[in-house]
Amino acid sequence: MTLLVAAVIVHDTATDRVLLLQRSREAKFAQGLWDLPVGKSEPGEPITETAVRELREETGLSVDPESLEVAHVIHSAWGVEAPHGFLTVVFVTHEWKGEPENREPRKHARVAWVDVSSVPEDFVDTTARALRHHLTGGPQVSLDGWN
C-alpha cells in the first residue's frame, strides 16, 4: 500500500523566507538534514487536514485548509516506513497564525525562517526538489526511486 504524506511550504512573501525544520540526530529519517514540515496522513483523514495538523504539531502555526494550494506532488517508489512507496502532496500557504516554535524537539533540532536565496544544501532531496520547483516555477510532479 502507498503511504500518503503531506508537506507544507510556509512562504512569507513579504520577506521572501520559508519556514524549515532541521531534523534531529535522533530522527528516524534524514538525521541532521533540513526539511519542510511534513508528516503521514492518518486513516480516513483528508490530505489538507494532514497538512494543517502536521504543521501545527511540528511548528505551532495554524493555517486554514482553504489557504493551502498544491505546489508539488512527489511519488516515491519506497521509503523508510513505506516499502511500497509514498505519495507526498506538497502544499504552499502564504497565510498563517502564530509564531513558529519547535514543538517536537526529539524529532527536530530547530525550526527557522530561511531566506529563499540561502536554503541549506543539506536538505532532504525530495522535498528540496519540490521547494526549488515551487520557487522557480518548475515541474509540479517529481518521481523518486522509479526505474
What percent of the chain has a predicted confidence (pLDDT) above 70?
A: 97
Rounded to whole angstroms, the Cα distance separating 121 from 138 reads 18
Q: Do 5 and 48 contact (CB within 8 A), yes or no?
A: no
What CATH number is given to the structural domain containing 116? 3.90.79.10
Range of the domain at 10: 3-144
The count of domains in the chain is 1
Confidence of residue 84 (pLDDT cuts 50, 70, 90): confident
Percent of the chain with pLDDT over 90: 82
Residue 119 to residue 95: CA distance in whole angstroms = 21
Q: What is the pLDDT of residues 92-124, one digit of tens each?
A: 999 999 999 999 999 999 999 999 999 999 999
Best mean pLDDT range from 21-25, 31-35, 47-51: 47-51
